[in-house]
Chain A
Amino acid sequence: MTRPDLIVIGAGPAGMAGATMAAQQGMSVLVLDEQPAPGGQIFRNLGASSTQQRQMLGPDYTAGQMLLDGLAAAPLTLISGAVVWDVDQERTVTYSKDGKAYRVKANYLLLSTGAMERPVPLPGWTLPGVMTAGAAQILMKTSGLLAKDAVLAGSGPLLYLVAVQMLRAGTPPKALVETQTPANYRAVLHHAGGALRGWKALAKGARMLRELRRASAPRYTAARDLAITGDTAASGLRFTAKGQVHHLECATVLLHQGVVPNTQITRALRLDHQWHAGQRCFHPVLSPWGQSSHSQIYVAGDGAAIAGAKAAEHAGQCAAADILRCAGRITAAQRDTLAASAKRNLAGEQALRPFLDALYAPPAAILRPPDAVTVCRCEEVSAGDIRAYARLGCKGPSQTKAFGRAGMGPCQGRTCGLTVTEVLAQATGLSPQDTGYFKIRAPLKPVTLGEVAALHSPAPQQPEGQDP
């Protein structure tokens, strides 16, 4: 392939829909995704899933088949198993596949790298046996593996979804421990806009809860002071609910507090970002069409702001339509027609969000954990360490990184980034926006020096289309 017009990074709903539209309209498109097959988080492994898996994962999962089919039929190049580890201002993308690094440049980029689960720093969360709810779901999707006697703890629609999927598979959770409080329910009453759809979502949640209740999975609400017990592995979950301390014995604890945008690439590019007070995370600043502060770089899907899989699909199409306009292939009026229904549906999905954000808002103790809790899992830095660095004069995450290594490990700050910002902001009195975020640098994922060295050519040459 010679230099493509558009490189799409991430083949979830946003990337699949955007790439398909751009290719159908005549652009040469290269799609890069880290997973073995397209689908993203929600439709992970859908193409290779068994009937049993499809049954337990339900209709929301199988609904992705249309996107997969669209992508397969579109005239584009998809490279799965491609880990993108650098993207620069000139829109050169560097990725590795099967131990070899490649560089490829395009006129336009669509970044659709999705979300990751919000970190859930609480005592004991680094112990083996503690995983995220999403992790348990991935094991179901890819390997048909079911967590037995697991306790699900936290908040958010995905928590219920995973609980119900486990139930349908015949291994209901041992208990559901929810951190939502009555205050969350009161807060949603203020969100008149989108409330109707919100209540629908809530009704869906309620249906799931009924399903769980019938399976007699014990449920605790307004739980606080969550802590995992155990020495070398999780042995239980302790928490307080209704004024009573509970301890549930279990070897697997599945935590969840919603998802947040994966901003590694947009940060590495130093695009403008903004703090989202409702979702308590940063997101890139975008035009209504998904154009970032770099005019040839677009962002769509949950990597732009959390709005769910449907919204991601529509946002991917909107971005593709505007890229076509920007490239001079269609007029603004043609773009508006092309993306009319996507734009309308996107607005509808987005209207629902403030409602869900308020309903499932993470508790303060998770956002800004007590001193003893580990914040940076890689370098084992605690919230108390971060506060101590603030007292020494650190105003932002780059300084605390230098003082205590939080964010310097292999995950490149993915897991501790938001917590460090929140804890620092609380300690200095600055806003999260003014506190800022880690500077993200290459590689976005570790690569061997051998792979990197192989890119070295004594006389530097311009990157072209991707070689094989």
Chain B
Amino acid sequence: MFERIGHSATAQVRFTFNGETVIGNAGDSLAAALLAAGHKVFRDTPTTAAPRGPFCMMGSCFDCLVVVDGETVQACQTPAQVGLVVTSPPVPRAQP
């Protein structure tokens, strides 16, 4: 659970994650905004469909992957912007 120390003056950015509206602060990464909004699970792994969320927040673990505009990006390295349509990456196919 994450809680914001009040800087209420900051402008808000509104975007969607898997169809749900998320309101973050200007300057947030997508990962920060999603965590602040209570989203823990960002995706399921392509190998075993295990749930994952951000781990390192510095761009090295790649656990925070989401899809924006058809491109897989690191949520912790992508600024939250008004109107973004963010989704979890699809789980490709079952492994034998």
Contacts and interface: CB of A to CB of B under 8 A. Distances in A.
Contact, chains A and B (beta carbon distance below 8 A) = yes
Interface of A: 34, 36, 41, 48, 50, 52-53, 56, 116-117, 126-132, 134-136, 138-139, 142-149, 169-171, 232-233, 251-252, 262, 377-380, 409-411, 414-415, 445-446, 448
B13 to A, nearest CB: 12
- Give the size range of B's interface with the partner: 35 or more
B84 interface: no
Q: What 7 A-B pairs have minimum CB-CB distances, sorted nearest first?
A: A128-B53, A135-B57, A410-B62, A143-B32, A128-B40, A138-B57, A411-B62
A119 to B, nearest CB: 9
Given A144-B4, A145-B36, A148-B3, A134 B65 contact: no
Contact of A144 (B1, B5, B59): B5
Contacts of B35: 139, 145
B1 A147 contact: yes
B90 to A, nearest CB: 15
A41 to B, nearest CB: 7
A135 B56 contact: yes
Contacts, number: 122
Contact of A135 (B7, B51, B55): B55
Contact of B50 (A36, A380, A410): A380
A139 B2 contact: yes
B58 interface: yes
B14 interface: no
Contacts of A232: 41, 51
Contacts of A36: 79
A154 B40 CA distance: 22
Contacts of B77: 34
B32 A145 contact: yes
Contacts of A116: 56, 58, 60
Interface string B39-79: 01110010110111111111111110100000110001101
Nearest to B24: A143
A251 B28 CA distance: 22
Contacts of A411: 60-62
A116 B61 CA distance: 10
A410 B65 contact: yes
A127 B63 CA distance: 10
Contacts of B71: 448
Contacts of A139: 2, 32, 35, 57
B43 to A, nearest CB: 10
Given A377-B63, A379-B47, A446-B72, A147 B58 contact: no
B29 interface: yes
